[in-house]
Each structure stands twice: as C-alpha cells, then as structure tokens.
Amino acid sequence: MATAALTIPRPDDWHLHLRDGAPMRAVVGHTAAVFGRAIVMPNLRPPVETVAQAEAYRARILEALPAGSRFEPLMTLYLTPRTTAEEVARAAASPHVHGIKLYPAGATTNSDAGVADLGGIEAVLAAMEEHDLPLLVHGESIEPGIDVFDREAVFVERQLAPLCERFPRLRVVLEHITTADAVEFVLGAPPTVAATITPQHLLLDRNALFDGGIRPHHWCLPVLKRRRHREALLRAVASGSPKLFLGTDSAPHEVGTKHAACGCAGIFSAPLALPLYAEAFEEAGALHALEGFASRHGPAFYRLPVATETVTLRREPWSVSASYPFGEGHVVPLRAGGTVAWRVESAP
Ligand code: OTD
Ligand code: ZN
Ligand code: ZN
C-alpha cells in the first residue's frame, strides 16, 4: 500500500532566492512555513559582496518574518573580481555567512557582476580553502558558442574538475545540477564536493518548455534538459548519496517580466517545493530517501545540527494557486492552477 504520511526532521532549503524589499517580504513566509533554514543567494542588484551587506540583508529578512517564526537565513557572499582574501576571512569569522557564491559572469539572472576569468580568483579560492568556507557554484560555461544545453557538462569538465583538483580541501557545492554528467562528476568526486537539486529538474524535462506553446514558467537556468538527464537525477537521489541535498532554487519574478518578449529566467516553487520533492522521490520509488536529502545531508555538509522539530507530509491532493502577491504585482508558481499529491503539515 502506498505510504500515506511521512514525518521527517524539518528540512532546509540549501539554495534559495528571496530578493529584497517588498518582493522579499511577500515570499519569505512561504519558505519559513516549511523550512527551518535556507542558504540565501546573494544575486541582488547590487550584489551582496561584503559581510556588512550580508548582515544588513539578514536583518531585513528577519524583520520580514511572520511573528514567532524561528526560520534562520544562512547568508552568502557574491564572488566578484574585487573580492579580497580579507573579506573571505571576515566571512569565515561571521556566524551568519555560510559560503561564497561563484557566478560565471553572465551565466544566469543578475550574474553580470560575477567572474569571467577563474584564473583571477586563485587567491580568494586559496583563502576559502584555508578558512574552510564553502564555495557554491553556478556551474555553466560562459565560453562563447557553447550550446545552452551543454553549458553545465562543459563547465564541469573544463572549469570545475580542474578547480577541485587544484583546491582539494575546498568544500564545493555544485548548485542545481541538471545533467548525467554533473551527477557522475559529483558522485565520483571526494567528499568535499556536493550538489543541490531542484524540484523542477527532478520532475520536468525540456519538453515542458514547449508543451502546447512556449511555457515561461518552466524557463530557468540551467535550462531543463533531456529525459535521460532527469532520469539520472532521479536515480542519483534514490541512491541516498549524502553528497546530494535539497535546494529549490525558487527564484520569483513578477509575472510581467516572465510574460515578455525576452522573459526572465527563474521558477518560483517555494509554496509547494517540499510536496514536489515528495512526488519526485515517489516516482523514483525512493520516498525513504527523502529524509536524508531534505533534512540530513545538507546540515552534515554545512556542519550544522539536524533540526529537532519535524514536519509531516500527508498524501492529500491540494490545488496550487494561480498566483501569489509579489511586491506591487504577482508571481506565478510552478504547477499554477494544478494539483499536488502531497500536503505539508507542520508539527505543533
Ligand atoms: N536560475 N533564475 C535565477 C537564479 C537561478 O541560476 C540560478 O541560481 C534568478 O532569477 O535569480 C534562474 O533561472
Ligand atoms: Zn545558479
Ligand atoms: Zn539560484
């Protein structure tokens, strides 16, 4: 008989975009209702480059939380060509900063301030290795002429593998992996290398971008891949590997900027992310592996305690809203207007 309920330690989201200002205040509660902690991405405009900026951003997030929430934002810095070894030392000394994010310049939304030449950040990477501060990586090649569907595999081979060899003690999270190539690399790498996986890359392949017409709410970076890559991701999470953990990459955009001639990349999944993962794990025949992925592997990698509170997932279909308020406008979630097979019930 199919499992009817599943109770796990309160999960964390190890890759989240909260934005800032009124949009942030509109979405943070969706994450805080389910997740205990989240690694908050620094790709604001302007980017979160310093510990001082991360502390100020953290304070704004805490202030926006619903009364009584114990949600903990785990902050990150945005690595730019200007980042110094001194800032790395300050970040490592801060109890609130948990990693530094590497965006190849131009690879994704708000990544223009990122790094074009990895050769230029050796001193910063050495300092991160020295201070044992994790490097979080958007792993897509920005070499001109590389097909958008190949950018992750090319980055892994040409940039990431050499980087991990050059800094063998540096802890690295390859964010939002989407390909069999990335799975193979991460699972074969030393324990210092881990990865996050989004719900959309577990549930959808690239056909979902063109299902009856162009689907802007399935457009994200890295772009959805072929079915065989999705199947490799499902097999990987079903294996229970401690190198893989939950990172929604929930990335809200105002609906008008998605329904546009050149629409923004990013999928908003925060209100339904945990149920979506339950669907994916069930499809993989691996509901038993959800607890490790959602609640245990991330804390072990980031050296934080596993939550003592629990949440319960109940097999009970519910209808997803067509949209949610977002600053002055609205944001359309993944599966808008559809149904999800699992519902989250928080412990009292
Ligand atoms: N991908 N959109 C965004 C970030 C991610 O690469 C990512 O982490 C965003 O809007 O910030 C997206 O498609
Ligand atoms: Zn990214
Ligand atoms: Zn992201």
8-state DSSP, 293: I
The chain-wide mean pLDDT, for the chain, equals 97
Residue 50 in any domain: the answer is yes
Residue 4 in any domain: the answer is no
Residue 324 in any domain: the answer is no
* Segment 341-348 mean pLDDT: 80
8-state DSSP, 118: G
Give the per-residue pLDDT at 1: 64
Residue 7 in any domain: the answer is no
Residue 296 in any domain: the answer is yes
Which residue range(s) make up the domain with 285?
A: 12-309
Report d(CA 325, CA 272) in Å as an integer.
15
* Residues 200-232 as b or e (16 or more Cβ within 10 Å = b): bbbbbbbeebeeeeeebbbbbbbbbbeeebbeb
Name the phi and psi angles at 3, rounded to 5: -60, 135
Which residues lie across from 314 on neighbouring strands? 5, 343
**What band does 348 get if pLDDT is binned at 50, 70 and 90?**
very low
Give the per-residue pLDDT at 104: 97
Residue 136 in any domain: the answer is yes
Number of separate domains in the chain:
1
pLDDT tens digits for range 187-221 = 999 999 999 999 999 999 999 999 999 999 999 99
pLDDT tens digits for range 3-38 = 899 999 999 999 999 999 999 999 999 999 999 999
Residue 223 in any domain: the answer is yes
Residue 325 in any domain: the answer is no
12 is known as an active-site residue: no
Question: Measured in angstroms, how far is the CA atom of residue 102 from the centroid of ligand 1?
Answer: 13
pLDDT tens digits for range 30-66 = 999 999 999 999 999 999 999 999 999 999 999 999 9
Residues with CB under 6 A from ligand 1: 17, 43, 108-110, 138, 176, 220-221, 249, 251, 265-266
pLDDT tens digits for range 151-170 = 999 999 999 999 999 999 99
pLDDT over 80 (residue 347):
no
The CATH number of the domain holding residue 235 is 3.20.20.140
Instruction: Using a cut of 0.95, tell me whether the model's pTM lies above it.
Output: yes
pLDDT tens digits for range 237-296 = 999 999 999 999 999 999 999 999 999 999 999 999 999 999 999 999 999 999 999 999
Question: Measured in angstroms, how far is the CA atom of residue 69 from the centroid of ligand 1?
Answer: 26
Residue 181 · residue 192 · CB < 8 Å:
no
Q: Which ligand is nearest to the CA of 16?
A: 3
